[in-house]
Amino acid sequence: MTLIREAAAPATTTVSVLGTPRLLAGVVEGGRVDLAHHRALHGDLVLRRRTWLSGALHDVNLLGRGGAAFPVAAKLDAMPLGRVNIVVNGSEGEPASRKDRVLMTCAPHLVIDGAVVAAHALGARDVTIVIHDAAAHESVRLAALERSDVAGMRIVRTHDGFVGGEIRSVINGLNGAAAIPGGRRTLPHVRGVGGAPSFASNVETFAHLALVALLGVDGYARTGSTAEPGTSLLTLIGDVATPGVVEVPNGVPLGMLFAGQPDAPVLIGGYHGTWVRGVAGLVVERASLRAAGSPLGAGVIARPYAGTCVLDEVVRVSRWLASESSGQCGPCFFGLPALSDDMAALAVGAGTDRLASLTRRVNLVRGRGACAHPDGSVQFISSAVRTLGDELETHARHGSCGRPASTVLPLPAGGS
């Protein structure tokens, strides 16, 4: 259980495993897994009927890995019969996340297997894999060349940011429009790529789908927790036991990912995520983390180092979140800059009036946009204010805490 092996992935991200690897089988020892190695590790591809797959996904409670944790069985069941297509979202817009590009770079055949399994079950002919990262794109492209079962598979490189990575933006982009979400919440299973219904999910979701088909319910459920069998890919950042991408069995305590500093602030879920103080009692399980008010999101978990100024980091990311508004919706376009100004003012010692203004604006931005960006950004900012009360008090009293700024949270080039 505590065995942690490490290896350098082709990218600069460190890859490690807690327990037995599934998605990252073969990766930790040898890097990228080619088709022959993939088949030797996992066996031949197993295609399943739609009803079998739906039942199995329900039984193993597979939840989407893009951030919303939507039940994949329900997504599959919502697909109509007739002309449908598959969209594999590997755009990984979350700036702190590395798990999707590591998966595509190191285990591309598992992702493609998942797409083939879904396409077979739904009778879909067209599969589109959308990738932002260059190395991941190259790896999946080369993997597709090794196979004979990928006719009708399109591998598309995208160049869009955080909001552009949301699935409705991705689909608008594929349809030739701007890669921003539409005003009405039209879901992909109603109208997706080319106007046809799309079964769309994150790359890690598809890799798990392949594993469910390969292993069956009992085999898949041999690891993980009862409520959520299987494993998860996390991106760990900053003062953590193993920085980088790690595959863990679901149900492990979050405390196992850290050493020391039991009451330090931790960011769970990414830049649309939640700041908490300490992780006592929390486990890697999407439903229980959501119930605790700190959803796992895209699997990013970050902890600033002791002796650094977390508020500084919160201000930096808040500014970036404000700059990422696509400018479609007024409350987000005007509200997020105002909120990040409030946050910056609090960090240089503004008092309770400014805190009241921030609280009022939080309620003016939340829920008033076409996509999850305003809500997620507000979650990041408001949870920081809630969690970092001691730090805010020090800053209010002295105008600063005198510590060097924490700089563990990455921003895309040019974004900081």
Partner 1 sequence: MSSIEVDWTRCDAHGLCSRLLPEVITLDEWGYPVIDGSDLDRDLVRAARKTAMACPALALRVERRP
User: Does residue number 186 form part of the binding site for partner 1 (CB under 8 A)?
Assistant: no
* Binding test (CB under 8 A) with partner 1, winner from 131, 289, 329, 378: 329
Helices (H), 163-308: 167-174, 203-220, 286-291
- Judged by CB under 8 A, how many residues of this single chain contact partner 1? 16
Binding to partner 1 (CB under 8 A) within 53-92 occurs at none
Q: Tell me the closest approach of the beta carbon of residue 386 to partner 1, in angstroms.
A: 23
Instruction: Read off the DSSP letter of residue 152.
Output: T
Residue 54 makes CB contacts below 8 A (sequence gap 6+) with: 73, 76, 77
Residues making up the chain, counted from first to last: 416
Cβ-based burial of 327 (10 A; exposed 0-12, middle 13-18, buried ≥19)? exposed
User: Does residue number 159 form part of the binding site for partner 1 (CB under 8 A)?
Assistant: no
* Binding test (CB under 8 A) with partner 1, winner from 182, 194, 255, 415: 182
Asked if residue 73 lies in contact with residue 54, where contact means CB atoms within 8 angstroms, the answer is yes
Q: Tell me the closest approach of the beta carbon of residue 183 to partner 1, in angstroms.
A: 4
Which range in 39-47, 143-151, 179-187, 294-302 contacts partner 1 by CB under 8 A?
179-187
- Give residue for tokens 């700059």: 323
Beta 265-268 vs 198-202: how paired, if at all?
unpaired
User: Does residue number 336 form part of the binding site for partner 1 (CB under 8 A)?
Assistant: no
DSSP E strand boundaries for 81-142: 85-90, 126-131
Q: Tell me the closest approach of the beta carbon of residue 177 to partner 1, in angstroms.
A: 12
Which range in 167-175, 194-202, 285-293, 326-334 contacts partner 1 by CB under 8 A?
326-334
CA–CA distance, 18 with 178 (Å, rounded to integer): 40
User: Does residue number 184 form part of the binding site for partner 1 (CB under 8 A)?
Assistant: yes
User: Does residue number 255 form part of the binding site for partner 1 (CB under 8 A)?
Assistant: no
CA–CA distance, 160 with 263 (Å, rounded to integer): 37
Q: Tell me the closest approach of the beta carbon of residue 168 to partner 1, in angstroms.
A: 12
Q: Tell me the closest approach of the beta carbon of residue 78 to partner 1, in angstroms.
A: 19
Q: Tell me the closest approach of the beta carbon of residue 172 to partner 1, in angstroms.
A: 11
Strand partners, 300: 235
User: Does residue number 170 form part of the binding site for partner 1 (CB under 8 A)?
Assistant: no
User: Does residue number 330 form part of the binding site for partner 1 (CB under 8 A)?
Assistant: yes
Q: Tell me the closest approach of the beta carbon of residue 127 to partner 1, in angstroms.
A: 29
Question: Is the Cβ of residue 109 or residue 361 nearer to partner 1 in the bound state?
Answer: 361
User: Does residue number 43 form part of the binding site for partner 1 (CB under 8 A)?
Assistant: no
CA–CA distance, 24 with 181 (Å, rounded to integer): 32
Q: Tell me the closest approach of the beta carbon of residue 333 to partner 1, in angstroms.
A: 8
CA–CA distance, 71 with 2 (Å, rounded to integer): 29
Q: The dihedral of CA 343, 235, 309, 263: what is its sign? A: positive
User: Does residue number 19 form part of the binding site for partner 1 (CB under 8 A)?
Assistant: no
Binding to partner 1 (CB under 8 A) within 343-402 occurs at 364, 368-370
* Binding test (CB under 8 A) with partner 1, winner from 30, 183, 262, 351: 183
Which range in 104-112, 134-142, 242-250, 328-336 contacts partner 1 by CB under 8 A?
328-336
Which range in 16-24, 88-96, 181-189, 209-217 contacts partner 1 by CB under 8 A?
181-189
Asked if residue 336 lies in contact with residue 372, where contact means CB atoms within 8 angstroms, the answer is no
Cβ-based burial of 260 (10 A; exposed 0-12, middle 13-18, buried ≥19)? exposed
Identity of the residue numbered 296: L
Asked if residue 163 lies in contact with residue 113, where contact means CB atoms within 8 angstroms, the answer is no
User: Does residue number 332 form part of the binding site for partner 1 (CB under 8 A)?
Assistant: yes
User: Does residue number 273 form part of the binding site for partner 1 (CB under 8 A)?
Assistant: no
User: Does residue number 102 form part of the binding site for partner 1 (CB under 8 A)?
Assistant: no
Q: The dihedral of CA 409, 410, 415, 416: what is its sign? A: positive
Question: Is the Cβ of residue 159 or residue 184 nearer to partner 1 in the bound state?
Answer: 184
Q: The dihedral of CA 372, 373, 374, 376: what is its sign? A: positive
C-alpha angle 73-75-78 in degrees, rounded to nearest 5: 110
Q: Tell me the closest approach of the beta carbon of residue 327 to partner 1, in angstroms.
A: 10
The binding site for partner 1 (CB under 8 A) comprises 181-184, 328-332, 334-335, 338, 364, 368-370
